[in-house]
């Protein structure tokens, strides 16, 4: 089974040295989505507008895909709920 590595970039980089054995690329894509969701749940400043990225590589370090995510509040949201963000 192929090994996939999930590196998280959020202003700092968390490198996945161990990786995970998964059956295929589609399984790796599902894991990347779950990892990003779990990471975002731990963040207080998600709506600050900076980019989050999960970079998935194979066992040789070749990038297979990127999952990019940015959360930004529209000006109207700041008026309606000024304590957010």
Q: Tokens at residue 78, please?
A: 């700041």
pLDDT over 80 at 66, yes or no: yes
Half-sphere exposure of 74 (CA within 13 A, CB side): 3
Q: Looking at residue 56, what is its pLDDT?
A: 98
Q: What is the pTM of this model?
A: 0.79
Taking alpha carbons only, the member of 16, 54, 14 closest to residue 37 is 54
* Mean pLDDT score, 62-82: 80
In angstroms, the CA 41 to CA 46 distance is 9
33 vs 48, which has greater pLDDT? 33
Extract the runs of DSSP E, i.e. beta strands, from 1-85.
3-9, 13-14, 20-21, 48-57, 63-72
In angstroms, the CA 40 to CA 69 distance is 10
pLDDT over 80 at 73, yes or no: no
């Amino acid at each position: 089974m192929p090994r996939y590595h999930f590196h998280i970039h959020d202003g700092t980089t968390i490198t996945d040295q161990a990786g995970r054995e998964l059956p295929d690329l589609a399984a790796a894509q599902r894991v990347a989505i779950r990892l990003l969701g779990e990471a975002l749940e731990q963040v207080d400043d998600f709506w600050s507008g900076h980019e989050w990225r999960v970079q998935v590589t194979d066992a040789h370090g070749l990038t297979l895909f990127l999952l990019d995510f940015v959360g930004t509040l529209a000006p109207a949201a700041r008026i309606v709920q000024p304590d957010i963000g």
